[in-house]
Structure 1
Amino acid sequence: MLKNYFKIAWRNLLRNKLRTGIHILGLSIGIAICFLIFNVVTHSYSFDNFHPEGDRIYRINTVTDFGDGGIYPNSGTPGPLGEVIQDEIVGIESKGRLYTMYETLVALPNTDKVFGRSNEVTFADPGFFKIFPRKWLAGNPESALLQPASVVISEKSMHKYFPGSEASDVLGQELMFVDSDSIYAKVTGVVAGYEKNTDFVFQNFISFSTIATEEQKIWNGLHSWGSVNSSSQLFIKLSPGVSAESIDEAFKPLIAKNLESEDDGDYQTSFFTEPLAEMHFGQTYTNQGVSKAFLKGLVFIGLIILVLATLNFVNLETAQAISRSKEVGIRKTIGGTRMQLISQFLAETFLIILISSFIALGLVEGLKILFKSYLPQHFQIAYFSFFNALFYSAFPLLLTLITGIYPALILSNYDPQRALKGEMMRNGKFSLGGFLRKNLTVIQLSSSIAFIILVLVLNYQLKYVSSQPLGFEKEAVMYASIPFMSDPDKMLQLQDRYNQEAMVRSASLSGNLVSSASLWTSDVKIPVDTTEKEMYVQVMNVDSAFVRVNGIPLLAGTDGIDKSDEILVNETFVKEAGYENLEAAIGANLRYNEEQRTIIGVTGDFHSRTLREEIRPLLFTYDPEYFQTVSIKLNSDQNLAVAKERLEEVYLSVYPYETVSFNFLDEQIERFYQEDVKIKNVLGFACGLAILISCMGLFGLSSFTIAQRTKEISIRKVLGATLHQILFLISKEYMVLVGISFLMAIYPAYFFLSDWLNGFHTRVEMPYFIFLGAGIGVLLICLLIVGIHSFVASQSNPAKVLKSE
């Protein structure tokens, strides 16, 4: 019986090639999108889910609330919290501390072996390996990180630093780590690496006790409750039965006890527990995390595409039910039961979905290539994994029931006597099928209109942002990082070498780029009569060439900042500080870092961060010890590829043990909106698919329904109706459907766009003309599809059509 069902189903598919093609193409696209998104979501949730008792592991985060100055969450914690948390708060089984290091140079002392800079080095205490246990290949996990200047390395690091050695052979070997200072650490343990997805990328664990002196603690920002550094990470493992909420409550008296004495009342600090399972969706060590909102958006888009394809199926099957009425009547007359008919139609649906599923596998590989830059790093699809096998076994069955059950119920419910006469319903009776078809068409069209509006408005805003003046010159500026805490003389030597190059107009040293994602804020105190006015400002560490290299307009004074007690400020600073004019600010004194500073110059305002934010009052300070960036302004008409190669040669002549790559400032600025561009492109792709699926459905539906009205069209022609009247008669119903779809699409599109646009300080007003244009565009597409079918139907010879009447 089952074989017979599928044999008949196969013949029906071959008999209706257009209908079958529309179904298979639409469903295969929907299944492919859902399968890819399913794997992206499962990949994202797979990070660090393998640690023993992971549901009891939390990372402590800090939130600093500056009131009007903003709220800043941070994955780091003050150093003293890590020292007292287990003693002060009940319910903590273990604590583990990390202090992550950035661009640390690794070498073998007394040799010429230098392994370059690494972001996989961290300080760790013994508690870290209690919370996150590993397989130890050598060393004692209880004592390996107890003593200062000890280091535990991974098996991967062992093969890199000591090729050909066994784990037991490298114990006692010495490694040198160069950061702000040189650390000579002895290897006290070797651990195996993780084989599953993890955000803990570290390969070298230096004992936390190496940060021993007060000077070292101050340097690393571990000395004060008021110092929060994202490098200082604190993990806890709760005792069984202890809730995270109780720990969050216990932080309040701890804050009152230790922070009130340091806070000056201008900001508030709080701590909260972040579950280990959520860490991948927050601040990670490699910036490879993913936003949960983005994941939810992907799931939502995938479901919309699948629903549109499913609606196509239901719509076409119910519309074509009349063509199968006699088949149903004959089957029932010769003894077929309703359940047998339902099984037959579901078998047909299952066969279509099965074919679509196999085609979807090929489409998935194409989508992976197309969206490679949008997918997580090292993302792979394990087609034969348990979850994927479950998806491909359960999903077609589920989709068969959801998609096929309604058409099957409609078809199997026909009265045999009336079906054999071709009568589908009594005159004047409400048609559920017709009502459903219209509503399903409205849903499809409204989805397409909403997608079009979203994509066009996102593109409109991003173009507007990219066309706005930034207040500085971003063209022909290249930059590279300087080794942290480099010798100031070496930095000046590098700058001089660049200034001697014919292709270079000027070179500058600074703490960061003129515009970047980083933000350094502080407070300044400005004398006002007998009191002081306090302001929160953004701070940039620059040299005397910074303003000139970046083309920032100088409005008053000089830009030649070369002393630690001199500062430059921007125009917004002058206004908010209350100076009468720019000239009045020159020579004025204020307190910054509890030291007197003198304003020597005022620059024009410029966007030092994205255009999502307003321009802050800005203070430029001079502290050459902490310069980390070299910026080069090239002369015009330079071959940029040759210039880049030459700049890197000069860099390596000064820093021979470093690696370097010069980048363009304008490309860095474009990356500010990389996430928005991704959203726009993903929505654009979804928009294209939604329009394609909707058009296919509309094409099949209009083709069939207009074919049912061929005799009506012929009669109207005989009675004198013109071509325009016939086209308008058939099209007006679809014009009403598009109008309803447009009204339904407006609110969800407006709701999303309003929220997104409010995230920009520099933004366009809601472009309602785009809403109207999207509706008109879909209407024209709809009329084109319906018009073609109507025109073909209207050209038929009435005599041939009506000869059977």
Structure 2
Amino acid sequence: MLKNYFKIAWRNLRRNKLRTSIHILGLSIGIAICFLISNVVTHSYSFDQFHPDKERIYRINTLTDWGDGGSFPNSGTPGPLGEVIEDEISGIETKGKLYTMYETLVALPSRDKVFGRSNEVTFADPGFFRIFPRVWLAGNPETALIQPESLVITEESLHKYFPGSDAADVLGQELMFVDSDSIYAKVTGVIADFTHNTDFIFRDFISYSTIRTPEQLDWYGLHDWSSVNSSSQLFVKLALGITPESVDESFKALVTKNMEAGDDGEYNTSFFAEPLADMHFVPNYGNSGVSKTFLNGLIYIGLLILVLATLNFVNLETAQAISRSKEVGIRKTIGGTRFQLITQFLAETFLIVLCSTILALALVEGIKVLFESYLPEDFRIDYFSFFNLLFYAAFPLLLSLVTGIYPALILSNYDPQRALKGELIKTGKFSVGVFLRKNLTVIQLSSSIAFIILVLVLNYQLKYVTSQPLGFDKEAVMYANVPFMSDPDKMLQLQDRFNQEAIVQSASLSGSLVSSTSLWTSDAYVPVDTTEKEIYIQVMNVDSAFVRVNGIPLLAGSDGIDREEEILVNEQFVKEAGFASVEEAVGTVIRYSDEKVKIIGVVADFHSRTLREGIRPLLFTYNPTYFQTVNVKLNSDQNLAAAKERLEQIYLTVYPYESASFNFLDTQIERFYQEDVKIKNVLGFACALAILISCLGLFGLSSFTIAQRTKEISIRKVLGASLQQILFLISKEYMILVGVSFLIAVFPAYYFLNEWLNGFNTRVEMPYLIFAAAGLGVMVICLLIVGIHSYVASQTNPAKVLKSE
């Protein structure tokens, strides 16, 4: 019997090729999107879920509250916290400490090999491997990281540093790590690489006890409670039955005992436990972190696209039910039960869903290629994973049931006598089918309109912010990082070499770019009568050429900052300090970092960060020891590719062991809004799919419903109705549906856009004309589809249609 159901279902699908094609294409799009998004979400939530007792592992974070200045969470903790946490906080089973290092030069002195700079080096204590156990290939896990200058490396590092060697053979070998100073560490252990997804990218673990002198503790910021550095990380495993909330509460007493509020009580510090499962969704170890908001948005979009495809199916099937009424009547007359009819129609639906699923898997690869840059770098789809095998088995069955049950119930419920006579619609009576079809069409159209509004307004705002003047010249400016804590004389040598080049207009050194995501904040104190006025400021470390290289207008004084007791400030600083003019500010001595410094110049305000934020009071200071960036302004009309290659050649002559990579400043600034661009492009893709699915549904629905009105159209033509009257008569209903859809779409679109736009300090006013344009656009598309079908129907010869009447 089941075989017979599928055989008949296959014949019906082949007979109605247009209907089948519309169903398969619409559903395959929805299934492909859901399959890809479910794999992306599963991948994102899989990180570090393989560790034993993972639900009891937490990272301790610091929260600094500046009141009106905002709250700033930090994944780091003060160094002393790691020393006392087990004694001061009850319920801590194990603690583990990391101090992550940045751009550390790695070398093998015995073979005179330099491996370049690495971000995969960290200090770690033995507790870290108790919380995150590894497979040890050589060495003793209990003692490997106890002694200073001890080193544990992974299997990957083993093959990199000692190719061809066994793990046991490299024990005792010495590696050199150059950070603030040179560290010579001996290999005391070799561990296997993680084979599962993890955020812990580290390959070289230096014993934490290596940081032991007062000078080292001071340098790494581990000496007091007021120093919070994101590199200093503290992990804990809680005892059974201990909740993170109780730990967070215990931190309050610890803060009261060991820490004081900032000067004059301007900020407060607290600690909180972050679950290991949440680590992947915040910036970590060079990774920007996966946005949970973006992931949730993908889930909603995927479900919405699938719902639209499902509604498409239901809408078209219920509309075409009348064409199968005689089939139902005959089946019931010869003894077919309602259950058999429902099974028959569900079999047809299952075949459609099965074909759609097969097509969807092919579409997934195309969508992956299209959005490759939006997917995680290490993202791969394992088509034979347990989750995907479950998807193949369960999803088609579930979707067949959800999609096909209502049409099957409608079809199987027809009365055989009335069905055979074609008396399915009672004139003047309320029709559930017609009511449902109209509402499903409204849902589809309103979703399309909402998507169009969102995409157009996002694009409008992003174009607006990227076209705004930033207050500096970003064109033809290139930059590269210089080695951390490099010799200042070497940095000056590099700067001089660049300035000697004909292609270079000027070069400067600084701690950061003129506009970046980095933020260094502090306090400055301006004398006012007999007291001081405190100003919460942003700080940038620059040299005397920085203002000139970046084209920042100088309003007063000099930009030649070349001494630590001299500073430059911006207009916003002058305003908040209460100076009557920029000229009055020049020469004033203020207090900054507990030192007296003199304002020698005032620059115009410029956007040192994204336009989501306002311009802060800014202070330029001079500290060449901490310069990390070289900025180069090229002369006009240069071959940029050749200029980049030449700059990198010069860089390598000064720093032969470094990797030279110059980038353009304007490219970096564009990255400020890459998350917004991703959202816009994903919404744009979803918008296109929503419109496509809606158009497919509207095409099928209008072709069928107009076919049902062919006799009515012919009679009206015989009675003298013009083509325009017929087109208006048929299109009027759809115009009303689009109008209702527009009203429904406006409110959620406005709510989302208002929230998003409020996140920008520089923003457009709500562009209501775009709302209207989106509604009109959908109406035009709708009228084109309906109009074409109506026109074809109206051109049919009435004599052919009415000859049997």
With the shorter chain as reference, the TM-score category is: over 0.9
- Secondary structure (helix, strand or coil) at the match of 1:468 reads coil
Contact 2:221-2:228 at 8 Å conserved across structures: yes
Q: Counterpart of 2:352?
A: 352
Native 8 Å contact 1:507 1:549 kept in 2: yes
Q: Percent identical across equivalent pairs?
A: 80
Could you say which residue in structure 2 is the equivalent of 1:369? 369
Secondary structure, aligned partner of 1:106: strand
Coordinate RMSD, CA, aligned: 0.8
Q: Structure 1 CA distance, aligned partners of 2:346 and 2:110?
A: 76
SS of residue in 2 equivalent to 1:199: coil
Residue aligning to 2:27: 27
Whichever residue aligns with residue 319 of structure 1, its letter is A
Give the structure 2 partner of residue 494 of structure 1: 494
- Give the Cα separation in 1 of the matches to 2:561 and 2:256: 41
Counterpart amino acid of residue 443 in structure 1: I
Q: Does 1:333 align with 2:328?
A: no
Residue 113 (structure 1) shift: 0.2
**Partners of 1:569 and 1:599 within 8 A in 2:** yes
CA distance in 1, matches of 2:395, 2:111: 60
Which blocks of at least 5 consecutive residues in structure 1 are unaligned?
A: none
Q: Secondary structure at the residue paired with 1:407?
A: helix
- Partner residue of 2:268? 268
Q: Which deviations, in whole Å up to 9, do the C-alpha atoms of 1:500-554 show, x marking residues without a partner?
A: 0000000000000000000000001111111111111000000000000000000
Query: By how many angstroms is 1:427 displaced?
Result: 2.9
Q: Point out where structure 2 has 5 or more consecutive residues left out of the alignment.
A: none
Higher mean Cα deviation, 456-465 or 283-292?
283-292
Structure 2 match to 1:634: 634
Structure 1 stretches of 4+ with a deviation exceeding 6 A read none
Once residues 567 and 405 of structure 2 are traced to their aligned partners in structure 1, the CA distance between those partners, rounded to angstroms, is 74
Aligned match of 1:297: 297
Deviations 1:634-690 (A, max 9, x none): 000000010000000000000001111100000000000011001000000000000
Partner of 1:739: 739
Greater shift after overlay, 259-268 or 656-665? 259-268
Q: In the aligned structure 1, how far is the partner of 2:152 from the partner of 2:609?
A: 39
CA contact (8 A) 1:556 1:601 kept: yes
Tell me if structure 1 keeps the 8 A contact 2:509–2:542: yes
Give the structure 1 partner of residue 803 of structure 2. 803
Contact 1:506-1:549 at 8 Å conserved across structures: yes
- State the one-letter code of the partner of 2:133: P
Asked if the contact 1:476/1:634 (under 8 Å) is kept, the reply is yes
1:125 match:
125
Q: Residue 548 of structure 2: SS of its match in structure 1? A: helix
Match of 1:135 in 2: 135
Query: Counterpart of 2:265 in 1: which secondary structure?
Result: coil
Aligned mates of 1:445, 1:784 — CA distance in 2:
14
Deviation sequence 1:692-714 (CA, Å, 0-9, x none): 00001000000000110111111
What letter matches 1:105 in structure 2? L
Q: Residue 198 of structure 1 corresponds to which residue in structure 2?
A: 198
- Partner residue in 2 for 1:58: 58
1:429 corresponds to which letter in structure 2? K
The Cα of 1:71 is off from its aligned counterpart by 1.1
Q: Distance in 1 between matches of 2:682 and 2:347?
A: 34
Worse-matched range after superposition: 794-803 or 641-650:
794-803
SS class of match (2:52): coil
The CA deviation at 1:263 is 5.3
- The residue that corresponds to 2:236 in the other structure is 236
Shift in Å at residue 262 of structure 1? 5.9
Q: Which position in structure 2 is the counterpart of 1:378?
A: 378
Q: Which residue of 2 aligns with 1:703?
A: 703
Q: Is the 8 A contact 1:225 1:262 kept in 2?
A: no
Distance change (3 Å), C-alpha of 1:214 and 1:262: farther
SS at match of 1:384: coil
3-state secondary structure, aligned to 1:601: strand
- State the AA in 2 paired with 1:132: F
User: SS of the residue aligned with 1:107?
Assistant: strand
8 Å contact 2:261–2:269 — kept in the other structure?
no
CA distance in 2, matches of 1:63, 1:731: 60
Contact 1:288 1:377 in 2 (8 A): no
The residue aligned with 1:515 is 515
CA–CA separation in structure 2 for the residues paired with 1:611 and 1:205? 40
What residue identity is the alignment partner of 2:68? Answer: D
In the other structure, the counterpart of 1:437 is 437
Contact 1:451 / 1:686 at 8 angstroms: preserved in 2? Answer: yes
Match of 1:540 in 2: 540
- Paired residue secondary structure (1:630): strand
Is residue 2:127 matched to residue 1:150?
Answer: no
CA contact (8 A) 1:312 1:693 kept: yes
Q: Take 1:286 and 1:220, find their aligned partners in 2: how far apart are those partners? A: 19
> For 1:37, what is the secondary structure of its paired residue?
helix
Conservation of the 8 A alpha-carbon contact between 2:148 and 2:210: yes
Query: Take 1:49 and 1:501, find their aligned partners in 2: how far apart are those partners?
Result: 53
Contact 2:47 2:197 in 1 (8 A): yes
Instruction: Tell me which residue corresponds to 1:287.
Output: 287
User: Could you tell me which residue of structure 1 aligns to residue 588 of structure 2?
Assistant: 588
Residue equivalent to 2:343: 343
AA at the equivalent of 2:233: Q
**Counterpart Cα distance in 2 of 1:715 and 1:460:** 50
Post-superposition offset of 1:428 = 2.6
Matches within 5 A, 1:677-696: 677-696=677-696
Match of 2:321, SS?
Answer: helix
* Range with greater deviation from structure 2 (170-179 or 795-804): 795-804
Cα distance in 1 for partners of 2:276, 2:157 equals 26
CA contact (8 A) 1:648 1:661 kept: yes
- What code does the residue aligned with 1:691 have? I
The residue aligned with 2:258 is: 258
Query: Residue 48 of structure 2 aligns with which residue?
Result: 48
Does 2:54 align with 1:91? no
How many angstroms apart in 2 are the aligned matches of 1:634 and 1:615?
27
> How big is the shift at 1:260?
1.7
Q: CA 1:81 to 1:264, structure 2 compared with 1: closer, same or farther past 3 Å?
A: farther
Decide whether the 8 Å contact of 1:288 with 1:376 is kept in 2.
no
Aligned AA for 1:215?
A: E
CA distance in 2, matches of 1:540, 1:426: 78
Looking at structure 2, the residues matched to 144 and 209 of structure 1 have their Cα atoms a distance apart, in angstroms, of: 12
Q: Secondary structure, in 3 states, of the residue corresponding to 1:518?
A: coil
**Per-residue CA distance 1:17-53 (angstroms, 9 max, x = gap):** 1100000000011100000001000000110000000
Instruction: Give the Cα separation in 1 of the matches to 2:277 and 2:54.
Output: 8
> 2:271, 2:734 → 1: CA distance?
57
SS at match of 2:666: helix
Q: Quote the Cα distance in structure 2 between the aligned partners of 1:130 and 1:112.
A: 35
Matched, 1:753 2:748: no
Please tell me whether residue 613 in structure 1 is matched to residue 621 in structure 2.
no
Deviation digits for residues 565-593 of structure 1, max 9, x if unmatched?
00000011001011111111010000111
Contact 1:316 1:697 in 2 (8 A): yes
Aligned length: 805
Within-5 A mapping of 1:420-431: 420-431=420-431
Give the SS at the match of 2:165.
coil
Q: Does 1:560 align with 2:555?
A: no
CA distance in structure 1 between the partners assigned to 2:394 and 2:111 by the alignment:
60
SS at match of 1:740: helix
CA deviation after TM superposition for structure 1 residue 261, in Å: 6.5
Partner of 2:109, secondary structure, is: coil
Distance of 1:186 and 1:585 partners within structure 2: 56
Contact residue 151 and residue 188 of structure 2 kept, 8 A: yes
SS of residue paired to 1:480: strand
Specify the code of the residue in structure 1 equivalent to 2:597. Answer: R
1:62 and 1:73 in contact (8 A); partners too: yes
Q: Partner amino acid for 2:442? A: V
Asked if the contact 2:282–2:288 (Cα under 8 Å) also holds between the matched residues in 1, the reply is no
Q: Are 1:222 and 2:222 an aligned pair?
A: yes
Moved more, 183-192 or 256-265: 256-265
Return the alpha-carbon distance in structure 2 between the equivalents of residues 111 and 707 of structure 1. Answer: 84
**8 Å Cα contact 1:199-1:286 kept in structure 2:** no
Aligned-partner Cα distance in 1 for 2:751–2:366: 33
User: What is the alpha-carbon distance in structure 2 between the residues aligned to residue 426 and residue 418 of structure 1?
Assistant: 11
